[in-house]
Amino acid sequence: MNLSKLGVNYISDRLKDTKESGLVLGRVALPHKRLYRVFTGQGEWLAEISGRLRFEAETSGDFPAVGDWVYMRPREDEKKGTIVDIVPRFSQISRKAPGDPAVEQITAANVNTIFLVNALNRDFNIRRIERYLSLAWESGANPVIVLSKADIGDRIEEKVRQAESVAFGVPIHVISAHEGMGMDELRSYVREGETAALLGSSGAGKSTMMNFFLNENRQAVQEVREGDDRGRHTTTHRELFMIPDGGVLIDTPGMRAIELWESEEGFQQSFADVEELAQACKFTDCSHHQEPGCAVQAAILAGDLDHSRLKSYLKLKKELEYLARKKDKRAMIQDKNRWKQISKSMRKKRR
């Protein structure tokens, strides 16, 4: 395989010499439970993670993710390897892992463009788009909003205006992958050597888009439910594909619930309009409810800001503050346990 087509140029300044070390560079295409499928210059390999890397990993974010570039000790006769190191990422899409603990889940790494896919049927949700934008801006990749299923959508112009009202400066494309409408415009984001990731809820049309780019029915496609236009999870894992026209696409499972992770900067960028208004409030700690001199409430009364936009802003801000408190508590516990292990090790050495 040609590593340039896989996007190696975007991490060239982060690489070390593999000739002297005898290591092989590759890109993770599919993480399994204990094994990884890795694309290399010698073809497709299976790899396991080294004991050292496993021991040093403190969280799941320290393990290889789809899209990661990794160094492997080769077993070339078997087309297998052992992953001994991960190349520093230039971008990563992270969210809070499902469940109570404050744990990071990396959806994809080293991505240039994120296609935020939202169907134009009854599952269209502007509040979900706001969350996706916060996640995308924080990742370091460039977001692109894709409004899919235009062939069966309704009130399309109205929904485009809604998307424009929350996506400042973000490209918006109306497409129908089933009919090929608007798909040529999306190809420009996936040029040779560049990586795009598909994010969206189940039933949004990601698998149909992927099949269009691959020129084959690689990903399973299922009909959405008639009652609410929501789909089943047709994609059950994250996987990297090389597309025939050049470029790389990463498909991801549908995400109904989007719990943000370290999205303070992304949140501020996604809600830049509210943040700018808040700067003009009389009190710096204004909660934007009933305080005198609140510029945000004044904008709502004047019709310059929708109340639902403020409600979404306050809800996401509260979530991020809660997550920050949980992460601080978790960090304190981890630090305490680490010092216990150090003390225990020191006592053993004295004996």
Residue 151 labelled as part of a binding site: yes
Residue 149 labelled as part of a binding site: yes
Q: How many other C-beta atoms are found inside a 10 Å radius of the C-beta of residue 202?
A: 19
Residue 201 labelled as part of a binding site: yes
Mean of pLDDT values over 21-35: 91
What domains appear along the chain, each with residue ranges and CATH number? 8-86 (2.40.50.140), 92-251 (3.40.50.300), 271-338 (1.10.40.50)
- pLDDT tens digit string along 54-70? 999 888 888 999 999 99
Residue 188 labelled as part of a binding site: no
The Cα 15–Cα 326 span in angstroms is 35
Question: How far is CA 284 from each of CA 257, 269, 288, 292, rounded to the nearest angstrom?
Answer: 32, 19, 10, 12
- pLDDT tens digit string along 143-178? 999 999 999 988 999 999 999 999 988 999 999 998
Q: What is the CA radius of gyration of the chain?
A: 23
Residue 13 labelled as part of a binding site: no
pLDDT at 256 over 70: no
Residue 169 labelled as part of a binding site: no
**Residue 77 per-residue DSSP state:** G
Residue 225: what pLDDT?
A: 44
Residue 202 labelled as part of a binding site: yes
Instruction: Tell which residue, 26, 30, 92, has the closest CA to residue 235.
Output: 30
pLDDT at 255 over 80: no
Residue 207 labelled as part of a binding site: yes
**Residue 57 per-residue DSSP state:** -
Instruction: Tell which residue, 86, 116, 135, has the closest CA to residue 199.
Output: 116
Q: Between residues 38 and 227, which one has the greater pLDDT?
A: 38
Residue 140 labelled as part of a binding site: no
Give the torsion through C-alpha atoms of 97, 100, 101, 105, to 10 deg: 0
pLDDT band at 231; cut points 50, 70, 90: very low
Residue 284 labelled as part of a binding site: no
- pLDDT tens digit string along 83-113? 999 999 999 998 877 665 567 789 999 999 9
Residue 93: what pLDDT?
A: 92
Residue 327: what pLDDT?
A: 61
Residue 237 labelled as part of a binding site: no
**Residue 149 per-residue DSSP state:** -
Q: Which amino acid is residue 351, in one-letter code?
A: R
Residue 123 labelled as part of a binding site: no
- Give the side-chain half-sphere CA count within 13 A for 205: 29
Residue 205 labelled as part of a binding site: yes
Residue 203 labelled as part of a binding site: yes
Residue 22 labelled as part of a binding site: no
pTM over 0.85: no
